Amino acid sequence: MWQQQLLEQIQAIDIEQASHGLYGLSEVKADPGQPFTPVSRVLSRDDPALNPALRLHWRLLGKGGWKENAYREWLLPSGEKVLVSYTDFASTKIRHYGNGYQLDRVHGKKEAGDLDALVARLARLARLRVHGKLTAQVLIAHVPQQRRFEPLLGKTIAPAFLERCHLEHHSLIWEDRYGRGFFTGVFLWNADGTGE
């Protein structure tokens, strides 16, 4: 399935970007003149090493939106067209100490915005099928304990919500491979095809 392949490519980028992983991409691959660029924007660039869709040999058809609402339109090998939008969130703060990156246990980050509204927006788009295209929302999240994903995602992963909004949910979760004391999760919601 294309959804799982996309998530696996994001995980592969985390592995390949030693010693900072996905979390550090915001700093290491920042836009010129900026100290920080959201990882969601880094993964949307036209860089075949960092764009999961390009790594899967999807063909870029177009792009649009603005800032956190930015999306890319892709043609999959199956002939399907999909609009993919990325969002990222971290309730952890990693700092550069000496020659490595470590979890700052004193200074955390704010809690997530309204993820329910974001996924409900996706559900509305999914029902419209935007001129025959699928829609997908990807969330890349970093939390200090794995159990923190459930309250972060809230009802967006509840079977009743997914059924009512005609969404499928896919995910991958792993412990930070660089020993910084947090977990990374990548989550994808897309139309299940029954809401048309």
pTM: 0.84
The predicted pLDDT at position 106 comes to 47
The predicted pLDDT at position 111 comes to 55
Which amino acid type is present at position 33? Answer: G
Local structure of 20: helix, strand or coil: coil
Q: Is residue 86 within 8 Å of residue 37, measured between CB atoms?
A: no
The predicted pLDDT at position 66 comes to 55
For residue 188, give both structure tokens. Answer: 């994808």
Taking the alpha carbons at both ends of the chain, their separation in whole angstroms is 21
**Ranges in the chain, pLDDT < 70:** 65-70, 92-114, 122-131, 192-196
The predicted pLDDT at position 195 comes to 53
Helix or strand holding residue 13 (H, E): helix 2-16
* Separation of alpha carbons 170 and 187, rounded Å: 6
The predicted pLDDT at position 59 comes to 95
The predicted pLDDT at position 45 comes to 87
The predicted pLDDT at position 107 comes to 45
